Homo-oligomer: A and B are copies of this chain.
Amino acid sequence: AVPFKRASSHLSGPAQPVAYNVSQLFQGDYGRAGLAHITVAGARHHGMKGVEVWLQTFAPGVGTPVHRHDCEEVFVIQRGAGSLRYRTAGGSVAELPFAANDTLVVPPNLVHQFVNSQLQGDLQALVVFDSPPIRIHTYANWSSAEAVLQRPYFWDKECPLTLPAAL
């Protein structure tokens, strides 16, 4: 069997590739009702160094905190619909609607919030960003000017003790 954990980066040769099913990975709400988060490939969870990938599912009306981070972020919408709210250069809050098969690109340092705006039906997205683990500043709401650095981020605080078996 191919080992799940990659060899450390100081080894001279390339490590082994790994394959695992998303259904084998730990899914949690991390204290947020209506959220299902899976770290599909992560720095803390799987030793990723360049990119991290999440699969996130949001119930109707549920979204992320208002937040910012200094990495690029790409959302590939798998199903459902929602809105990306963001702080404009002028200081107001704008809203960008999206639906399945849409791609969202969020530039670094933009204050934003990703929300399931549907009355019913889940919103599911693959979330991709560079330079993991992520450093997120959250705001209590859109009126708050105070940002709090959440690091490690909620799902980076505890790693699942049981890594999924490789295929």
**Partner among B19, B41, B111 whose Cβ is within 8 Å of the Cβ of A98:** B19
A103 interface hit (Cβ, 8 Å): yes
Q: Is the CB of B129 within 8 A of A22?
A: no
Proximity bits, A12-49, B CB within 8 Å = 1, else 0: 01111111111100000000000000001100001011
- In the complex, which residues of chain B have a beta carbon less than 8 angstroms from the beta carbon of A107? 6-7, 14-17
**Which residue on B lies nearest to A104, using beta carbons?**
B19
Interface residues on A, range: 35 or more
Q: How far is the CB of A41 from chain B (nearest CB, A)?
A: 5
* Interface membership of A84, Cβ < 8 A: yes
Note all chain B residues with C-beta closer than 8 A to A97.
19, 167
In the complex the two chains form, is B105's CB within 8 Å of A41's CB? yes
Determine, out of A57-65, A69-77, A139-147, A149-157, the stretch whose residues face the partner at the interface.
Answer: A69-77
On whether the beta carbons of A102 and B22 are closer than 8 Å, the reply is yes
**What residue in chain B is nearest A6 (Cβ atoms)?**
B107
Q: Which residue of B49, B72, B96, B103 contacts A50 across the interface (Cβ within 8 Å)?
A: B72
Q: Is the CB of B96 within 8 A of A2?
A: yes
**Residue contact A53 to B16, C-beta cutoff 8 Å:** no
Among candidates B50, B102, B104, residue contacting A130 with C-beta atoms closer than 8 Å: B50
Most chain B beta-carbon contacts within 10 A, residue among A7, A19, A110 = A19
